[in-house]
Amino acid sequence: MSVPLKDKVPILMVDDQPEGLMALEATLAPLGQQLVIAQSGREALRHLLHQDFAVVLLDVVMPDMDGFETAQLIRERERSRNTPILFLTALSRGEVPEFRAYAVGAVDYLLKPFEPDILRSKVNIFVDLFRKTEMVRRQAEALREAERREHERELAAAHQRLEVERSRWREELLRKEMETGRNQQRWLEAVLAALPTPLALLEPSTGHTLFANRAAQELADGCLIYREARQLHPEVSFMDAEGKALPHEALPTSRAARGERLNGVPVEWRQGEQHGAALAFSSRLPQMHGRPETVLLALLDVTALHVTEKNLQRAVHVRDDFLSLASHELRTPLTSLKVHIQGALRAAARRNEEALPMAQYVAKLETLDHNVSRLTELVDKLLDISRINAGRLDFELTEVDLAAVVREVVSRFSEEVSRAGCTLAVQAEHRVVGKWDRNRVEQVVTNLLTNALKYGAGAPVEVSVREEATHAVLEIRDQGIGIQEEDRRRIFERFERAVPHDNYSGFGLGLWIVQEIVTGLGGSVAVESSPGKGALFRVQLPWTREPQAGEWRRAAQA
């Protein structure tokens, strides 16, 4: 806290004795300065926190905190470090540790009783010094203020010059940017006009066409974009994907202008014998770059795709109808034939006379039964194709022990294993129970095991079942011819094979059906293989899941 030059200078007097303070006050009163009293060292320190003093008159002997301790604390504080301290004591010179007084920063000390004139003279010197120090400080502040103002004037002048230069530079930059913007706009307009995708900019609410590129103008003779074009060509009619007529307010331009967000909305049109189709997409461009809010409409011309899709759908429908009809027509006589053959086998087994001819007869019947089984299996696969394509491959979910299914299927493959010259090792001792379709799981095991025996080249085949935290795992490993890397993905597609048909029989349906069944049950199937090193097929089935018909349709249409 600074003191004005004409004001009284503060002097701090510290003594625990009231009579000592009264004596000091009476002695220094003639100086006409501000006398501040403190009756303890702590009170003196509190005064020093709020005010600067020309000198501190400090009694040495005080209770709680003596003068030396008080002086030490005064010197430790940055603001009061240079404040003069004058010790007063009633002790004799021999009893006063003079060196300690000077060590804590005292400028002098006086013995009580002191000579008033001497004390006033000493204090007056510190008062004058305080005033002169204050004057120097204020002159330094005034000088710094003058320098600051001069610096600010120089900065203001420099800033003004910089602003003038910056303004000139901004004008030049703006001129160049405007020219660049105009060139860019011309270039963008040329690009948009040349784009093969029909594009249009519409005015919100009214639907007025602000811009349309060449492709949009040529689509349906511009009738999709311009209201005036529809008036010039009244023969053009518009309809939705189901063939229902679309009025003006239901057209993509009107819907997008009203604020609807179009995302592949189909629209078709007919103009005489010509027929077209497009998908409409729209987005709202907010007000920006000085342009008002605008609607962007994009039309994807799918006329050729539409025709191709209809042809494909017609072909698929005809094919599926044929497969379904052929399968049913084949299965009926085959079922009857199988029943009669099995009856004949049972009758032959009861006749013991003429053992040798009868054995030959039984062998022929067994051959017929084997061939009928192969035909039945083929028919079942054809029926599965039809069901998968139609999304009608249903599942009957029950609790199924996968290990038991594997053991049962393996037990039926003894003849096939013998013919293939393979050995079959099975690890399926523990129950692995999940909620699946037993017949479909059996079909998966059968197809994979058939595949392993066919391509196993007479080497051992291993089948294992285990359970993990979230799913069951079925693995079938062979040591056969293996699969090329580029064929590993293809073999799971319909009618695809990794080897020529001349070398191995089959129609390329088994693995495709496996994948469709496993996918329908929420699982996955994968293969690990290298040429000449066999193959490992791994099926993972979650413990339970309701299959979705939509998944079958997407898989069939892929």
State the DSSP string of 352-420.
-SSHHHHHHHHHHHHHHHHHHHHHHHHHHHHHHHHHHHHT------EEEEHHHHHHHHHHTTHHHHHHH
Q: What is the pLDDT of residue 360?
A: 57
pLDDT of residue 407: 92
DSSP character at residue 115: P
Residue with tokens 């759908």: 313
Output the pLDDT for position 22.
92
Report whether 291 contacts 200 (CB < 8 A): no
The pLDDT of 365-389, averaged and rounded, is 63
Identify the pLDDT of residue 444: 92
Run of H or E residues at 174: helix 116-194
Query: In this predicted model, which residue has the larger pLDDT, 194 or 471?
Result: 471
pLDDT at 399 > cutoff 90: yes
In the chain the first and final C-alpha atoms are separated, in Å, by: 88
- What local confidence, expressed as pLDDT, does residue 322 receive? 47
The pTM is what?
A: 0.40
Is the per-residue pLDDT at 335 higher than 70? no
pLDDT score of 222 more than 60:
yes
Structure letter (DSSP) for residue 114: P
Q: Please give the Cα distance from 488 to 50 (Å, whole number).
A: 89
Query: 430-439, 447-456, 470-479: which has the minimum mean pLDDT?
Result: 447-456
Lookup result for tokens 């860019």: 184
Q: What is the DSSP letter of 7?
A: S
- State phi, psi for 159 to the nearest 5 degrees: -65, -40
Least confident of 20-29, 246-255, 377-386, 547-556: 547-556
**Which DSSP category does 211 fall into?**
E
Lowest-confidence segment of 238-247, 364-373, 538-547 by average pLDDT? 364-373
Position 346 scores a pLDDT of 64
Q: Which residues of 373-406 are buried (b: 16+ CB within 10 A; e: fewer)?
A: eeebebbebbbbbbbbbbbebebebeebbbbebb
Mean of all residue pLDDT scores within the chain:
80
Express each pLDDT in 487-497 by its tens digit.
888 888 877 76
Q: How confident is the model at residue 318 (pLDDT cuts 50, 70, 90)?
A: very low
* 243: Cβ contacts below 8 Å, ≥ 6 apart: 268
Which helix (H) or strand (E) segment is 205 a member of? none
Residue 89 CB coordination number (10 Å): 19
Determine the pLDDT at residue 552: 44
> What is the distance between the alpha carbons of residues 257 and 272, in angstroms, rounded to a whole number?
29
If pLDDT is split at 50, 70 and 90, which confidence band does 337 have?
low
Q: What pLDDT, on a 0 to 100 scale, did the predictor assign at position 84?
A: 92
**pLDDT score for 470:** 92
66, 15 contact by CB (below 8 A): no
pLDDT at 266: 87
Helix axis angle for 41-50 and 67-76, nearest 10°, is 20
* In the predicted structure, residue 375 carries a pLDDT above the cut 70: no
The mean pLDDT of 88-114, rounded to a whole number, is 73
- State residue 325's pLDDT score: 46
Q: How confident is the model at residue 383 (pLDDT cuts 50, 70, 90)?
A: low
* Residue 106 · residue 127 · CB < 8 Å: no
What pLDDT, in 10s, does the model give residues 19-74?
989 999 999 999 999 999 999 999 999 999 988 898 999 988 888 898 888 888 98
Span 430-444, average pLDDT? 91
**CA geometry: angle 100, 102, 107, nearest 5 deg:** 150
More confident residue, 365 or 153: 153
